[in-house]
Amino acid sequence: MLRNALQDFYFQFHTQQHYFLCHDILEDAWKANPHFSKEDAIVSLILTATGCYHYRRQNFVGAVKSFKKALSVIRKFDSALNIGLDIQAYQQQIQTLIKTVNREQSFTPIQLPITNEMEEDILKRYPNYIVTFYKIEDSYIIDHHLKRDRTEVEAARQRALQARHNAQ
């Protein structure tokens, strides 16, 4: 399941630049593990996607915070980790992102240093997989937290409020 989620993540990250969806894809896979921890390497990727989402929207404070947390998590791992990345190159990339965001430079899409094996796996599942080097400007993707369907979230919130009200 994690391997498929990683393939979905990298496709969305590189081809679609849908960073909000990237976060959701890996968060769901991460939480499906009964022994999940905030120190799992996958959390670093979740935070990197979150940082890119903030960075593209010029929320520099949120981006730096997310990238610093991503770096803190991944520093605990070495290159033997199986999330389809060159870990050392990834760590360096996050350090560079932190510097770039701190200088409030314009967002440009990044290419995560995935392994050749991971890229081959992605291409088997997504034959149209490419790295999109230009910045995608689709407002639904850029402002996804504002434009997504929140019907289910609102219904859950109402159920929780009702349950608290009934418990009183």
Q: What is the model's pLDDT at position 138? A: 67
- pLDDT computed for residue 166 by the predictor: 81
- What averages of pLDDT result for each successive group of 10 residues across the chain (168 residues)? 91 93 91 89 96 95 98 85 90 97 96 95 95 79 57 62 75
**pLDDT score of 112:** 97
Per-domain residue ranges of the chain: 2-167
Domain 2-167 matching CATH 1.10.3450.10: the answer reads yes
Helices 116-125, 2-11: crossing angle, 10 deg rounding: 80
